[in-house]
Each structure stands twice: as C-alpha cells, then as structure tokens.
Amino acid sequence: MLPKVTPPFLPPHGASDKEYCLVLDLDETLIHYVDYGIDSYFLVRPFCKEFLAEMSKYYELVIFTAGVQEYADWVIDQIDPEGLIKHRLYREHTIIT
C-alpha cells in the first residue's frame, strides 16, 4: 500500500524556489524513539518545530531516515503539520553495496 520507490528520489536542482537543500536525519537528530512494545513513543528534540520553520525560509528541507516509510511518515506528519519538509527519503531509498 506504500508508493513504489523509483529513481530519481529528489527533483532536479532548480525545481524548487530555494537555492540550497538541507538534508536532515530523523532518528536521534530530530526525534528519539523509545521502544516499549505497544507502549512505544517518540520524544521530539526541543525547538524542533521552530528549527524547521526557520530553516525552511532558506532551504528546501529533506528528511532521511533508515527507518521504514510507514514509521517515518507517522512521525514526520506529527512534527511537521505545516508541511515544511518537502521530501522524504526512507530505508527503501538506500542501496546495498
């Protein structure tokens, strides 16, 4: 039910109104996930929302996580309800070398 991941993963340079792109890691950078089985939750780094709002003025924001898309979307939708993060990269976007 998740969208199929195919290259290119990001639009070409110049497709955004921002000159630069800022790629942020989700886990252990913006949030900390606490795994207690069915009682699991995540903690958001202080001032995370303010940071995203300020950085979105200057950069096209991209999130990367080694987590799976279902988990990452659940978290990102909660920490970024305004949609400041323009692109999301997940475990599915990586390759094994």
- The CATH number that applies at residue 83 is 3.40.50.1000
In a domain, 10, yes or no: no
State which amino acid sits at residue 77. Answer: D
Confidence of residue 25 (pLDDT cuts 50, 70, 90): very high
How many Cβ atoms from other residues are within 10 Å of residue 57's Cβ?
8
Question: Is the pLDDT higher at 49 or at 92?
Answer: 49
Cα–Cα distance between 64 and 95 in angstroms, integer? Answer: 14
Question: Is the pLDDT higher at 96 or at 59?
Answer: 59
The pLDDT of residue 55 is 97
Range of the domain at 74: 20-93
Give phi and psi for 6, each to the nearest 5: -135, 145
Cα–Cα distance between 78 and 47 in angstroms, integer? Answer: 14
In a domain, 4, yes or no: no
When divided into structural domains, the chain yields a total of 1
The pLDDT of residue 78 is 95
In a domain, 76, yes or no: yes
In a domain, 7, yes or no: no
pLDDT averaged over the chain? 89
In a domain, 5, yes or no: no
The pLDDT of residue 32 is 94
SS3 88: strand
In a domain, 62, yes or no: yes
In a domain, 25, yes or no: yes
In a domain, 37, yes or no: yes
The pLDDT of residue 19 is 87
Question: Is the pLDDT higher at 79 or at 13?
Answer: 79
